[in-house]
Structure 1
Amino acid sequence: MAPLSWRHHTLLQALLSRGPLPECDFHALFSAISGGKNPATHRQLFNDTLLKINKELSYLQFELRACINQYDGTVYYGVVNNIADEESKLGSKYSVPQIAFYKGLLEAIVHEAGNDGSITNIEALNTRIENQVVIADGSQDSQSRLPTSITNFSLSQKEKTLNELIQDRWLSYTSTGKIGLGIRSFLDLRSWFRSNDIPSCEVCNEAGIKALSCSNEGCNVRIHEYCLKKKFSQRKASRACRGCGTEWPRLEGEVDGVEDVNEPGEDQAPSANLPPRTRRRGVKSEPVEENERTDPSATMPRRSLRSNKAEAVKVAQEAPPTGPSQSTRSSKRRKN
């Protein structure tokens, strides 16, 4: 296999130095290094580039991956570690009690916060870390055997660690001011979510950390809000829950049947690599716009042309002459 080119290295270096990038920034970077080729219109080239990078990274158990921030629906790209445990994700920057604190916050957010996927700042600082420590013999430490770094982990140390985790994007502040998972957690912990039986979204099959639940209390189906909007934007999409048949409630701002008929089918999961709907509409309208430029009358009904012509003739007949009036010409003759 040919070695990675400078273009591949540039993409990797940008992600490693800046961290996960929003899709728009990553696409702009790809366009800049590929001579202005937009990933939306050069999809095969874009996919081939990522595939080549991932084949090289697989030897190191790393991967260039895309995921969606479940709190705002933004797609991100980043380089992730494919080893599943949280300790390897956080690396050597964090101490043992800090890693234990993160694990406690992670469990509180995905298990105890419900479908909201967030906890308050007070709840975060009150998270206990004693039961997150496992000693060499494989058993959890009792209170008497805990190391002093764990037992003496103070409130101020928790607050400092919380700020660092947010700054490093392992955690984040949500739009409501609560503590939620950061984009690096969504990118790196995909396998951890699955191994810990976190309910998946019915549409995209990703962990439903921030998701909506079926209104039937006995049904555990979850769907991300952005997946739900995309699913119901299709003209013939059924609103019945696949788990129990209960109808999903209408979302705020949802409009019936205005989306493009070329949207993915009801059973197709949304892809982070699909171009925006507005971009597809622009592509569809190009032939029409071209016809209008070459022959404006081509898009105008024949009856409309005849009626417009007749109306123009009528107006011209009723309008006064454009030259001097009769009285003006008479007065000129008298003066002469």
Structure 2
Amino acid sequence: MAPLSWRHHTLLQALLTRGPLSERDFHAVFAAVSGRNPATHQQLFNDTLLKINKDLTYLQFELRACMNQYDGIVYYGVVNNIADEESKLGTKYSVPQIAFYKGLLEAIVQEAGNDGSITSIDALNVRLDNQVIIVDGSQESQSRLPTSIKNFSLSQKEKTLDELIRDCWLSYTSTGKIGLGTRSFLDLRSWFRGNDIPSCMVCNEACIKASSCPNEECNVRIHEYCLRKKFSQRKASRACPGCGTEWPRQDGEADGDDVNEPEEDQAPSANHSSRKRRKRVKTELVEENDNAGPSMAVPRRTSRSMKAEAVEAAQEASSAGASQATRTSKRRKK
């Protein structure tokens, strides 16, 4: 197997030093080192990531992509696939800080409203003693909790909360609450599955922030961005895939036939617009016809006859000019 090139190393270094990168930023780095746009060279992009992951397998690492469930943006990052005691030595967080994060994680994923977030007050009230495992499990075990756990103050919680948000383990949602960060979505895929977190019916990823079926007896949950994708087709059925109940529309979602359907004269993209402009040029429509409304449009035959008349007039003017120039030249010779 050929070794990784400097291009592969640059991509890895960017992810390791900057943390998880959004798809837009990661694509920009890839384009800078390869000279190719991932949007138009998708196969090259996929082959590059596959090559990197084959080499990272020996180190139990993986370059992985995930969806941030709060904003629907794809992020890339490097994760450790083995959660052993040796790997835990690499963390900068103390035992009480890790216990605090575990408590926050459980509070967020168990949030009853499917919003995937908790208030700052609820976050600071998370207890740490439930996250520490005492081997003998006796009733007196709580009295033998580490001093660092029992004395973890409110100010230390606030400081840890800020660090976890800065390091992308947690995040502030659009509503100002505390939610999971991109690192959590990247690293905790196995943890979500192992703890029976409900999965999205569409993408099969864990539902941290999702919508529930309106039928209370149905357990189907779907991410909001998966809902938009699933129901974006014109006249698509909005029936729940589990029980058949009609799924309510989301705020700001268009009704019926207007979902993502452009008008005839509306260009959905810059490329499509340019193609339409080229077609208009090929059909030789005059600029006034393009800008005029239906009642002001000039028929094609009329526009062509106007052009013919203009050409004839130009030819006559040219002939008259030539005759005048000849007569003037003859006078000068005389």
Inter-partner Cα distance in structure 2 for 1:160 and 1:238: 48
Inter-partner Cα distance in structure 2 for 1:136 and 1:46: 48
The CA RMSD over aligned residues, in Å, is 3.2
Shift of 1:151: 1.1
CA contact (8 A) 1:171 1:182 kept: yes
Residue 71 of structure 2 is matched in structure 1 by: 72
Residue 31 of structure 1 is matched in structure 2 by: 31
- Seen in structure 2, the aligned counterparts of structure 1 residues 308 and 292 have a Cα distance that, compared at 3 Å, is closer
Residue 225 of structure 2 is matched in structure 1 by: 226
Residue 252 of structure 1 is matched in structure 2 by: 251
CA contact (8 A) 2:134 2:141 kept: no
Structure 2 residue 292 is matched with structure 1 residue 306: no
SS in 2 for 1:241: coil
SS in 2 for 1:116: coil
Residue 92 of structure 1 is matched in structure 2 by: 91
- With structure 2 as the length reference, what TM-score do the two structures score? 0.79
Deviation digits for residues 97-130 of structure 1 (CA, Å, limit 9, x no counterpart): 1111100000000013430111111111110110
Inter-partner Cα distance in structure 1 for 2:170 and 2:302: 66
**Unmatched 5+ residue regions in structure 2?**
263-267, 291-297, 310-334
Inter-partner Cα distance in structure 2 for 1:85 and 1:70: 27
Shift of 1:74: 1.2
Residue 153 of structure 1 is matched in structure 2 by: 152
Residue 47 of structure 1 is matched in structure 2 by: 46
Shift of 1:158: 1.1
- Seen in structure 2, the aligned counterparts of structure 1 residues 56 and 283 have a Cα distance that, compared at 3 Å, is farther
Inter-partner Cα distance in structure 1 for 2:158 and 2:141: 25
Q: How does 1:280-299 map to 2 (within 5 A)?
A: 287-294=275-282, 296-297=284-285
**Percent identity of equivalent pairs:** 75
Inter-partner Cα distance in structure 1 for 2:106 and 2:167: 19
Inter-partner Cα distance in structure 1 for 2:145 and 2:207: 34
Residue 9 of structure 1 is matched in structure 2 by: 9
Shift of 1:237: 2.5
Shift of 1:64: 0.8
Shift of 1:286: 5.9
Structure 2 residue 18 is matched with structure 1 residue 18: yes
Inter-partner Cα distance in structure 2 for 1:141 and 1:307: 98
- Seen in structure 2, the aligned counterparts of structure 1 residues 154 and 113 have a Cα distance that, compared at 3 Å, is farther
CA contact (8 A) 1:104 1:132 kept: yes
CA contact (8 A) 2:8 2:48 kept: yes
One-letter identity of the residue aligned with 1:10 = T
- With structure 1 as the length reference, what TM-score do the two structures score? 0.79
CA contact (8 A) 1:133 1:140 kept: no
Inter-partner Cα distance in structure 1 for 2:278 and 2:89: 54
Shift of 1:84: 5.0
- Seen in structure 2, the aligned counterparts of structure 1 residues 15 and 260 have a Cα distance that, compared at 3 Å, is farther
* Higher alpha-carbon Rg: 2
Inter-partner Cα distance in structure 1 for 2:59 and 2:139: 31
Shift of 1:75: 1.1
Q: How does 1:189-268 map to 2 (within 5 A)?
A: 189-255=188-254, 256-257=256-257, 258-259=259-260
CA contact (8 A) 1:133 1:141 kept: no
Shift of 1:141: 7.9
Q: How does 1:267-282 map to 2 (within 5 A)?
A: none
